[in-house]
Amino acid sequence: MSLFRLDASIRTEGSVSRAIADIDEESWRQDNPDEVVTRRDIGLDPVPATSWPLSVFADRSNLDSLSPEQKDAVDLATTLSDELFAAHALLFAVPLYNFGVSQHFKAWVDLAMTDPRLGESLKGRPAVLVAVRGGAYGAGTPREGWDHASGWMRRILEDVWGLDLRVVETEFTLVGVNPALDQFKEVAAEMREESERVAVQHGRHLAGALTH
Ligand SMILES: Cc1cc2nc3c(=O)[nH]c(=O)nc-3n(C[C@H](O)[C@H](O)[C@H](O)COP(=O)(O)O)c2cc1C
């Protein structure tokens, strides 16, 4: 079972989403020692925001009509969706930025979706979303309802693309970084430990080893 892995963190040093996704990947690797991992790092190498409008209106039934810029955008969209089609399992690691979806993840999704082949073709594939947030947004917290990323990401991955999705959530990653959050050190450590445990389990899901 080959794996596609996408990273959206804009940093490498200290990145929690990358560290949790590494655990998922290692767990998947146990059953797939010789399989290929296709990596797309949109945090460090984003898809150009200009590609989406060029690709979305390109007439794919008449490739000769496309400008060179449109052709490049269509080619990139095709590459992105080919990477998804080629993998048996999909791993996405995406942080919360400014209470919303990472712009790089949104640009990548938008462009991939301009490929008309995407439709139903990913339905049922095992997938994991590693969602990390600096703060905490659970029920009863002062910022309940401020996480505007997770709901949208689940909609796309689970409902639109039909992936068999599991989500690993890690909150309070800014504890230890932002002194105002020092009082939450213990709870943050517990959350991290729990998400590392869940990541191992979800890696097994990626490997097709879990049935529910
Ligand atoms: C520019 C920027 C904006 C951020 N905005 C938020 C935010 O609105 N809410 C939040 O909970 N965390 C926010 N964070 C914190 C990140 O979600 C957190 O640091 C997360 O761990 C980043 O992922 P990484 O560790 O994989 O790099 C922000 C971080 C950066 C760099």
| Closest residue by CA, ligand 1 atom 1 | 97
Q: Which atom of ligand 1 is nearest to the CA of 100?
A: 8
Quote the pTM value.
0.97
Which of 11, 16, 102, 133 most suits a substitution to test ligand 1, by most atoms within 8 Å of the C-beta?
133
State how far the Cα of 170 lies from the Cα of 167, in Å rounded to an integer: 10
In whole angstroms, how far apart are CA 14 and each of 19, 166, 204? 8, 24, 25
Q: Is 173 in the pocket of ligand 1 (CB under 6 A)?
A: yes
Instruction: Tell me the HSE value of 72 on the side-chain side, using a 13 A CA sphere.
Output: 8
- Consecutive 10-residue averages of pLDDT for the chain (212 residues): 96 97 97 95 98 97 95 98 96 98 98 90 95 97 97 97 97 96 96 98 89 48
Is 38 exposed, middle or buried (CB count within 10 Å of its CB: 0-12, 13-18, 19+)? middle
Q: How far is the CA of 96 from the centre of ligand 1 (A)?
A: 5
And the tokens for 143? 């910022």
State how far the Cα of 52 lies from the Cα of 108, in Å rounded to an integer: 9
pLDDT, position 210? 62
pLDDT, position 121? 84
pLDDT, position 212? 47
Q: Which domains does the chain have, with CATH numbers?
A: 3-206 (3.40.50.360)
Q: How far is the CA of 90 from the centre of ligand 1 (A)?
A: 23
Q: How far is the CA of 57 from the centre of ligand 1 (A)?
A: 33
Residues across the chain = 212
State how far the Cα of 194 lies from the Cα of 196, in Å rounded to an integer: 5
Q: Is the dihedral of CA 168, 119, 147, 99 positive or negative?
A: positive
| Closest residue by CA, ligand 1 atom 15 | 134
In one-letter notation, the amino acid at residue 117 is R
Q: Is 61 in the pocket of ligand 1 (CB under 6 A)?
A: no
pLDDT, position 205? 96
Q: Is 133 in the pocket of ligand 1 (CB under 6 A)?
A: yes
Q: Is 143 in the pocket of ligand 1 (CB under 6 A)?
A: no
Name which of 98, 96, 106 is nearest 171 in CA terms. 96
State how far the Cα of 145 lies from the Cα of 171, in Å rounded to an integer: 14
State how far the Cα of 99 lies from the Cα of 186, in Å rounded to an integer: 24
Q: Which residues have C-beta within 8 Å of that of residue 2, sequence separation ≥ 6?
A: 32, 35, 36, 37, 38, 86, 87, 88, 89
